[in-house]
Amino acid sequence: MFDLPFGRTGRFWKGNLHTHTDRSDGALSPEETVRHYREAGYDFLAVTDHFRRAHGFPLTDTRPLRTAGFTTLIGAELHAPHTEFSAEWHIVAVGLPLGFAPPAPDETAPSLARRARAAGAFVGMAHPAASLLTAADAETLDAAHAVEVHNALSAREHRGDSWHLADVLLGRGHRLSAYAADDAHFQPHDPPACAAWVQVRADTLAPDAILSSLKAGHYYASTGPELHDVRVTDGVLTVRCSPARTMLLTGGVPGALVTEGDGLTEWTVPLGRFAAAHCRVTVEDAAGGRAWSNPFTPDRAAG
């Protein structure tokens, strides 16, 4: 599992890891897309246009759009045939070099993902629920760093949540972190952008620092609330967060530990049956927004 980021040096930086522009099937230019996120208070953005022949295999260069207080990561959504229920894979790769080569006609998704990871990218399984990705499919993607556990665009289809797959993979011993993302296209009938993001703990906003923290799992995911601290001391979990109505501990065994109330900002609870399993914390606010810690084992969250 992962060392949780809350006690680390630096600060949290807000960003989106899955975004499309008019270089593939998005409606806005890269310049307009970056401006939208910057003006919404984000610190960084990964443009991940569809890396398909139909779009000319775009690897959108957003470096000229970086400013002193806002940065970008170079990325793409990679595709190769096929999964059990879909004609192609959807793989988010953030931190690709601009010379990354298109897939060969016979290249498999696991090979493509391995090549992206070897080139320095953070690799994620995009919208597994919406793609009907099975555990058997997912286990072949051995280069993945993370599962996209919430996709705001897929939530429109009621297939935005992929935590079940993440928990199965974690239970089978795969070391995977968990991120949330917009998958924004800015098309007329899409849900509003800036609906799901990550908060990455790093000393600076330099692209390499953000990318290193993503690979290390030093982040949490959110659609609204803020996590201020998650730690375990002598078998007791402590969570501190922005005001919430529900806090949960779930993970590698069925069931949950739950507390509910109005304006909750702190929760202390013995781990109980979760003491020997991988865990995650979820908090939900009064508006229905949620935040999720990365998966951890109690020994990696010790205070």
* Burial readout 238-276 (b: 16 or more C-beta within 10 A, e: otherwise): ebbbbebbbbbbbbbeeeebebeeeebeebeeebeebee
Residue 180 dihedral angles phi and psi, to the nearest 5°: -115, 150
> Residue 4 domain-assigned?
no
Same domain, 72 and 213: yes
From 219, 247, 263, the end of a domain falls on 219
* Confidence class for position 298, pLDDT limits 50, 70, 90: confident
Sign of CA dihedral 184, 187, 189, 193: positive
Per-residue pLDDT reduced to its tens digit, 246-284: 999 998 899 999 999 999 999 999 998 898 889 999 999
Q: What is the mean pLDDT of the chain?
A: 96
Mean pLDDT to the nearest integer, 222-250 = 97
Same domain, 118 and 231: no
C-beta atoms surrounding 299 within 10 Å: 9
- Reply yes or no on whether the pLDDT at 51 is more than 90: yes
* DSSP letter assigned to residue 4: -
Structure tokens at 93: 């790769």
Q: Which residues pair with 220 in a beta bridge?
A: 199
Q: What is the CATH number of the domain that holds 258?
A: 2.60.40
* Confidence class for position 1, pLDDT limits 50, 70, 90: low
Same domain, 163 and 273: no
Structure tokens at 85: 């229920």
Same domain, 60 and 123: yes
Contacts of 33 (CB under 8 A, 6+ apart): 19, 21, 26, 45, 47, 184, 186
Q: What is the CATH number of the domain that holds 173?
A: 3.20.20.140
Same domain, 65 and 186: yes
Nearest Cα to Cα of residue 162 among 142, 183, 143: 183
The pLDDT value recorded for residue 291 is: 98
pTM: 0.97
Per-residue pLDDT reduced to its tens digit, 135-158: 999 999 999 999 999 999 999 999
From 219, 246, 275, the end of a domain falls on 219
Same domain, 167 and 203: yes
Same domain, 140 and 42: yes
Nearest Cα to Cα of residue 147 among 130, 128, 133, 134: 128
Q: Which domain holds residue 89?
A: 11-219
Same domain, 77 and 179: yes
Ramachandran class of 288: left when φ > 0, alpha when ψ lies in -120 to 50, beta otherwise: left
From 191, 219, 247, the end of a domain falls on 219
Distance between first and last Cα of the chain: 16
